Structure 1
Amino acid sequence: MNDADKHSLLKRLNRLEGQVRGVARMVEEDRYCIDVLTQIRAVRAALSRVETGLLKHHLDHCIEAAITGGDSADQRQKANELIELLDRSNR
């Protein structure tokens, strides 16, 4: 991962960390359940965007390198890793 992409990813994750701390504060302060749940949904959506970005990076770089590299064992390994990841997501 290049430095710019890594910086962007870490920035998003740090923002998410702050959001999660904010949710914890809301719980400590006995805030209205719907308000807390709304913030949890926002955190989940933000985490999903990070996941999507990282998956795109994996496809654009790691998977593409395996395909263009011509190593069939590496291609199978990368494909299997992706299939296993998607399978775990469906459980």
Structure 2
Amino acid sequence: MKSDTKDAALKRLARIEGQVRGVSKMIDQDRYCIDVVRQIQAIKAALSGLEKVVLDDHLETCVEDALTSNDVDARREKVEELVAVLGGRKK
């Protein structure tokens, strides 16, 4: 993972961690259910954003390296990984 991507991912994770702690506190305080659900939706959106950042980095580094190499097995492996992750199939 590139260092700038790693830094961005760690910052996002810290924010997500804070959001999760906040939801825990909301539940403990018996806050209104819809408010809790909205915060959960915000966490899901933040996780999706993090997933995109990590996946973009993977495409720009690991996948690009494999596709430009002469190693047919490495290329096949990276494509199979992407199909499994994007298609929801287990590798």
Amino acid at match of 2:63: I
Structure-1 residue corresponding to 2:82: 82
Identity of aligned residues (%): 48
Q: TM-score, normalised by structure 1?
A: 0.92
> Would the aligned equivalents of 2:23 and 2:39 in 1 still touch at CA under 8 Å?
yes
Q: How far apart are 1:60 and its partner, in Å?
A: 1.1
Q: How far apart are 1:5 and its partner, in Å?
A: 1.6
User: What are the ranges of 5 or more consecutive residues in structure 1 without an aligned counterpart?
Assistant: none
- Shifted more, 1-10 versus 68-77: the winner is 1-10
Structure-1 residue corresponding to 2:64: 64
How far does the alpha carbon of each residue in 1:46-89 deviate from its partner, in whole angstroms, 9 at most, with x for none? 00000011111111111110011121110000111111112327
Alignment of 1:1-91 (within 5 A): 1-88=1-88
Q: TM-score, normalised by structure 2?
A: 0.92
User: Could you say what the CA RMSD is over the residues aligned between the two structures, in angstroms?
Assistant: 1.1
Q: How far apart are 1:2 and its partner, in Å?
A: 2.4
Q: Count residues in correspondence.
A: 89
User: What are the ranges of 5 or more consecutive residues in structure 2 without an aligned counterpart?
Assistant: none
Higher relative contact order, chain-length normalized (CA < 8 Å, sep 6+):
2
> Would the aligned equivalents of 2:5 and 2:53 in 1 still touch at CA under 8 Å?
no
Q: Secondary structure at the match of 1:74?
A: helix
